[in-house]
Amino acid sequence: MSNSHIDQLAEELLKIETLPEMKTFLKALLTAEEYETVPLRLQIVKLLKNGVSQREIVKELGVGIATVTRGSKEILLNHFKNV
């Protein structure tokens, strides 16, 4: 996927002003599975940033260690500085 496609997606997301509009947009954009897993991945990143261990996250959220490890890579890459 090219950076221009990511830029276009980000620009569209930035245009959305309300929570109901965002939910509608996300439901239209994502599959049902993605709609469930993307917010879960955000929770993983937040917990990691708060110093919760990977094993604790696995227990708390009921996800696999590989899913949590992927979230830890996001932390290392500093993609979610303001989450």
Q: Is the dihedral of CA 28, 48, 81, 5 positive or negative?
A: negative
Q: What is the dihedral of CA 43, 26, 19, 41, to 10 degrees?
A: 0
Q: Per-residue pLDDT for 75 more than 90? A: no
Is 36 in the same domain as 26?
no
Q: What percent of the chain has pLDDT over 90?
A: 61
Asked if 64 and 49 sit in the same domain, the reply is yes
- Structural domain of residue 8, as residue ranges? 1-30
pLDDT at residue 60 in the model? 95
Average pLDDT over residues 40-61: 92
pLDDT at 2: 72
What pTM value is reported for the model?
A: 0.71
Domain count, the chain: 2
- 43 and 61 co-located in one domain: yes
**Alpha-carbon gap, residue 18 to 73, rounded angstroms:** 30
Q: Do 74 and 46 belong together in one domain?
A: yes
The predicted pLDDT at position 3 comes to: 80
Residues 7 and 36 in one domain: no
